[in-house]
Amino acid sequence: MCGRYALTVAPDVLAALFSLSSSKGTANDPTEVPARFNLAPSQEAQVVVRAEDARGCALSHMRWGLVPSWARDSKIAHRTINARSETAAEKPSFRSAFKRRRCLVPASWFYEWRREAGTKVPYRIRRSDRRPLAFAGLWERWEGTSAEPPRVSFTILTTNANEDVAALHDRMPCLIEPEDFDRWLTPEVDDPGATSRLLAPAPAGLLTLDRVSSRLNSVRNEGPGLMTPDTLF
């Protein structure tokens, strides 16, 4: 699964990587994306979608935990932070978004935990070459109720863990490479074989793991200090 991640990419790098259309001075301006070291479910995050004119991509501000358009309330969101790539196309919560509303979730790295000596120890998982990651995602617009405001939300697709991650968890985010961004964001081109390839586990050796601070365990903690493992104190 993917239950926590970070986005610390410099704005100009983010804009160049995803060919972002200009949105200067708006909430979706890539220069206005703050560094986040502990993004958690139910929090707001920036995701990448196709621009409305279908020329390039744009940032969109969404909440993590997909609420389907048909939901009676938003309680389902805590169960839909991730979607299994193998079944998302058929599951009622995700199938509409899988066919029509795909996104990319930019990240610097993600986290998983391992129990060591009775303690949950967090590990950072990032590319060996330190380049940013792009998770395959789905998004949905929910119109809200008399008790809750409308919400635009997203989920992160997962697949079987590769050799790099398997020691920590049996699932990992689906990672999309830059040359495949357009293909993933164009669901109307129906090619199940290509889609299956995009959602396969990342090749072994792509990712590296390192231990970080146990302060990461609390979603209230934030900042670069979380990257210093407890063993250094």
Among the listed residues 2, 57, 103, 174, the single catalytic one is 2
The dihedral over CA atoms of 139, 31, 57, 44, expressed in degrees to the nearest 10, equals: 0
Among the listed residues 57, 90, 103, 112, the single catalytic one is 112
Cα(78)–Cα(66) distance, rounded to whole angstroms? 8
Q: Is 2 among the residues known to form the active site? A: yes
Going by their DSSP bridges, the two strands 171-173 and 133-142 should be labelled as unpaired
Quick check: 82 and 1 in contact, CB under 8 A? yes
Q: Is 112 among the residues known to form the active site? A: yes
- Enumerate residues 6+ apart whose C-beta is below 8 A from 224: 8, 35, 37
Cα(185)–Cα(109) distance, rounded to whole angstroms? 21
Quick check: 173 and 202 in contact, CB under 8 A? no
Active site residues: 2, 112
